[in-house]
Amino acid sequence: MCKYCRTFAQKFNDMKHFFLLLLASVLLGCSSRQQISSPDETIRLCFRMAHGGCPQYQVCQDGQVIIDWSALGLVCDEVDLSSGLRVVDCTKSNYSDEWQTVWGEERLIRDVHSEMEVQMIHRSGMAMTISFRVFNDGVAFRYNLPVTESTQSKTLTVTDEVSEYRFTADHEVWSLPWRTEYYEGIWTKSPLSQKNDTLCSPLTFELTNGSYAFIHEAALKDYPAQNLYVSEGSVRTYLTPWLDSNAKPLPAKAYLTLPATTPWRMVILAKTLPELVASRIMLNLNEPCAIKDTSWIKPMKFIGIWWGMHMKSMTWEAGPKHGATTENMKRYLLFAKSHHIEAVLAEGWNLGWETWEHFDFTTPYPDWDMDYLSSLAQDLGVEIVGHNETGGNAAEYEKDLDTIYRYHAKHGIHAIKTGYVSPFIRTMDGLQWNKGQSGVRHYRHVIETAAKYHIMIDNHEPVMPTGLQRTYPNLMTQEGVRGQEWNAWSADGGSPCSHVTILPFTRILAGPVDYTPGVFAFENPVLPKTRVHSTLMNQLGLMVCLYSPLQMACDLPENYMKHPDAFRFIEHVPCDWERSLLVDGKIGEFCIFARQQRGSANWYIGGINNEDVRVVAVPLSFLNGQTQSSEQKYKATLYQDGEKADWKTNPYDFTIEEQSVTCADTLFIRLASGGGFAAEIIPITE
């Protein structure tokens, strides 16, 4: 058969397949308009095929349209899957389950949702299915691209994703510009109509009706991170592009091999801030744990040779002020052992810090005795947290991953803090955005390889978290935030007091954060105009409010010993929880969290405040759990700002008191400017 005949025959078969699917859709009674409701019927998602075969969805809550008809679809070099589509089948189902976390803010998580899968065929014969899930607190959708008999290519080059969110009012939105390096910026609020820049995901909305919404993505595995921009009143998707050899954006956003599935697009809808914080949609959208034996994955607090570098009293590189020496690390390990701290981080222990051109992760500086220190740590029962700063050279790091992780495991190091300080990272595909598809692939490869060697990862300069810790719980925590270090050297003087009161409702809704709280000394002799904008009690409150299963108390041991009575809270507070809840708060003003220690009846409360002095009420009704009598008495140890406390003039003024409480009591606590509080509540046994 000649090539023209073969081409004609192929086109005839494709058209025949297309019309057979259309006929099937008619015979089966498939409608181009469908709807699905949340299990409690408060949220309804509608789907329709608009003119030209363009898929759209709409979201209503309590009968009110929240997101009006909004576009769906993918645009590829090979085919435009945002138009020319027709519904051929639609299936609906209900799901209810409860699963247990390896670690987290809760031990048990409920997954209850309704699901709808709309199968479509493009006029070219290409098939696409959009999966929708509707929870009691939000909605999610993603695109599934199968292989069919009529699929002409097993690969697709995605150039655009048209997913949008057409809100019906000009809501207030908290956001960061998408080009903010490493997401290390100050979140700002303004009306949706005034968001003129492309923004990174996630976005947090304060709706005009007093409720809240949160847009993000889940299960980002082999796809670029989404960004969002406002156009004609609609929030639209901008995928992080691939870069050419000159680090210029290419039209290509994602290269897919069929069958392929995109990340979930999700919208949390919450009537109150506590409901927003309590949502677990993102985790439920990720796949179950892929690691069979998780016994080696252990949440823990740690201190480290780190803050001294930012305060210029130590250096990363070898020299007269080198921080990561054998003697200094021994001192830190002994301090950790004496004060119930599970681990010690050391940065600057390995060759390469002088030039940043090549880091050697298996060769220590001469003044670091890895064999001795690893043996000492094992004898003390204290873990060492390794540090692998790549300088953005992800390709070199990836090439040697097995060797590097085998070396660490051999020395009993089962937690590594990775770093990628560079505007672009050099992946196997050249210079790329860290949140482009190539960067996403690298980070996942690191997590999977680390799991083989029983190594937990604390990822700095990451892609924004999307709940992947459910599937790979060795991905413990990530930076992706303007953290404590900015308070040591930032030219703007340090982060404002309000910064940390915004994070629990923006960045941390995406996943655990390595903010590195716990500063106890507020003087900065090197940069006296830069400092931590908080009181000492605020730093204690951060240990509870800013969630991380690897929680670093960042200050120097000698500074902690200036206030050993306050440091006692850091010694006691855990970082793995049975239950967590937001007691009260307002974005940018203050927040109060209460968390129950996993496997225990002990509770810990933390509160943090912006610049405005206030008195907060903390009802203890959460103590009345299923296993506790309402008559149960507790010893409450309260760490509070003193009467003269002020972040700027007197950060060290604090009081500690003990009292007996029950679930019927309410604590009234004064929060100073930039202040905070912490509390440990332990059952009293007869």
Q: Where do the structural domains in the chain lie, given as residue ranges?
A: 3-284, 483-512+525-548+576-686
Q: Do the domains 483-512+525-548+576-686 and 3-284 match in fold?
A: no
Say how many Å lie between the first and final Cα of the chain, rounded.
92
Contact 173, 301 (CB under 8 A): no
pTM value is 0.94
Contact 263, 296 (CB under 8 A): no
Nearest C-alpha neighbor of 667 from the set 675, 679, 655: 679
Contact 348, 316 (CB under 8 A): yes
Nearest C-alpha neighbor of 267 from the set 241, 253, 289, 285: 285
Question: Any idea what DSSP says for residue 7?
Answer: H
The residues of the chain scoring below 50 in pLDDT are: 1, 3-29
Identify the residue whose tokens are 């003390």: 380
| pLDDT at res. 20 | 47
| pLDDT at res. 566 | 98
Q: Are strands 64-71 and 164-167 parallel, antiparallel or unpaired?
A: antiparallel
Structure tokens, 38: 């949340």
Amino acid (1-letter code) at residue 7: T
Nearest C-alpha neighbor of 675 from the set 448, 512, 522: 522
| pLDDT at res. 32 | 74
In whole angstroms, give the CA distance from residue 106 to residue 126. 42
Give the chain's radius of gyration (CA, Å).
26
| pLDDT at res. 627 | 55
All residues at 6 or more sequence positions from 188 whose CB lies less than 8 Å from its CB, including other chains: 174, 175, 176
Cα distances (Å, whole numbers) of residue 402 to 12, 26, 102, 162, 447 = 51, 55, 25, 39, 12
All residues at 6 or more sequence positions from 605 whose CB lies less than 8 Å from its CB, including other chains: 544, 583, 592, 593, 594, 595, 618, 677, 678, 679, 681
SS3 475: strand
Please, what CATH class does the domain formed by 3-284 belong to? mainly beta
Q: Are strands 260-261 and 164-167 parallel, antiparallel or unpaired?
A: unpaired
472 burial (CB, 10 Å; 0-12 / 13-18 / 19+) is buried
The helix/strand count (H/E) of the chain reads as 14, 39
| pLDDT at res. 676 | 98
In whole angstroms, give the CA distance from residue 542 to residue 642. 18
Which run of H or of E encompasses 385? strand 383-389
Contact 140, 285 (CB under 8 A): yes
In whole angstroms, give the CA distance from residue 397 to residue 447. 13
Question: Any idea what DSSP says for residue 622?
Answer: G
| pLDDT at res. 107 | 98
Q: What sign results for the dihedral spanned by CA atoms 30, 34, 38, 40?
A: negative
| pLDDT at res. 2 | 52
Question: Any idea what DSSP says for residue 685?
Answer: P
Which run of H or of E encompasses 395? helix 394-399
- What CATH code is assigned to 483-512+525-548+576-686? 3.20.20.70
| pLDDT at res. 686 | 73
